[in-house]
Structure 1
Amino acid sequence: MEEAHRATKSGQGDRNHGGSAGSAQSDTDLHFSSVPADAAHLPALRHALADWAHRCGMSGDQVGALTLATYEALANAAIHAYLDDTGTFDLLARYLPDRDRVEVTVTDYGRWRPPPDDPGPFSGRGIPLIQALAEHVDITRSTQGTTVRMHWNLGLQTGTAKNSVDGEEDPAIDRRGLSRAAAFSSY
């Protein structure tokens, strides 16, 4: 991964389109800023995020859920956000020790492509997978881009996810570990 898109410990989460990552320091955040929305960058981000999540004290199952859900959000930004050209996205992961929680935000600055007439058998599973893996998901779309916010409570191993898309509450999704959600990833 280019130096301009390296991980920083950024407490600000500032968007910097000059290519350099934020400069404010915190021991609890992982921030990649202005990453080209290209699938080639995703594996390095996934590995950095998994290493960071382990250091935050997440369980193995939680690290798996966090990295897969975030990877899906990043893939959606790389594949769907930019109609005619390439753009960028930001990844901000924050450990909130006072809440015993990890929050991950993926932000793109494009517009979603219209869905194809025939999406095929492997399309349309990303958002349900993200919702099944995270304990809370909020997806906000606007003319300035899309933001996917996810969080995981470190003390919880199972629970009921509450999710919203564009501020509208989605039905609660029962989440018991990764077994139910992992079925999505096998398609």
Structure 2
Amino acid sequence: MSATYYERERFLADPARARDALEQLRRSLRTARLPESTVHAVVVAANEALHNAATHAYKPRSDHEDHEPSHEPRRDQVVELTVLIDPDQVLVAVTDFGQWRGPENSLLEHETPDLPAKNGRGITVMSAHVDEVAIHRDTRGTTVLLRSIRSAEAPRPDTR
């Protein structure tokens, strides 16, 4: 199966850069003439994966031990966004090259009125928006693969 559209972009693990990458993803999906509901669903799932990569993959840097850690990413703290759109599916891979860091608190899915949960819903959010979510973690980093299967009724990509 040959790809109709393929793109890979690397950027610093920074929320502002992630927003730019999401806007590029949105444009690419619309250029491929995907239904707006698919565009929205894939962007929501990719946003969650990008946020998790920026939040959990890299430790905040500390230039000096006596200073507060900076949340400004170093040049080696990158995230890679890969998009493949073909007649049958949309694949989005979000890859970081850091080491997984768990949440700062253990209050994940359970929240109380006085202390709402801050973490723990990412996989649920991604799974609710795309057909398949696969996560691979090893010593080189983490890759989240999002797959949205294209329906037979959906317009096919513009191959011009």
Query: Rg bigger for which structure?
Result: 2
Q: Which runs of 5+ in 2 are unaligned?
A: 62-72, 108-115, 154-160
Contact 2:7 2:82 in 1 (8 A): yes
TM-score (norm 2): 0.74
Match of 1:89 in 2: 79
Please list the CA deviations of residues 79-107 of structure 1 after superposition, one character each: whole Å capped at 9, or x if unmatched.
1101244311100000123xx21100000
CA distance in 2, matches of 1:47, 1:114: 28
TM-score (norm 1): 0.64
Identical positions, percent: 32
Q: Does 1:63 align with 2:59?
A: no
Q: SS of 2:38's equivalent?
A: helix
Q: Quote how far apart the aligned CAs of 1:30 are.
A: 2.2
CA distance in 2, matches of 1:83, 1:156: 44
Contact 2:15 2:51 in 1 (8 A): yes
More RCO (CA 8 Å, sep 6+): 2
Corresponding residue pairs, total: 130
Contact 2:130 2:147 in 1 (8 A): yes
CA distance in 2, matches of 1:131, 1:96: 21
- Name which of 121, 127, 131 aligns with 2:127: 131
Match of 2:68 in 1: none
Q: Quote how far apart the aligned CAs of 1:114 are.
A: 2.8
Q: SS of 2:137's equivalent?
A: strand
Q: Does 1:114 align with 2:97?
A: no
Runs of 4+ in 1 over 4 A off after TM superposition: none
Q: Which runs of 5+ in 1 are unaligned?
A: 1-10, 12-25, 158-187
Q: SS of 1:102's equivalent?
A: strand
**What RMSD in Å do the two structures reach over aligned CA positions?**
2.1
Match of 2:9 in 1: 32
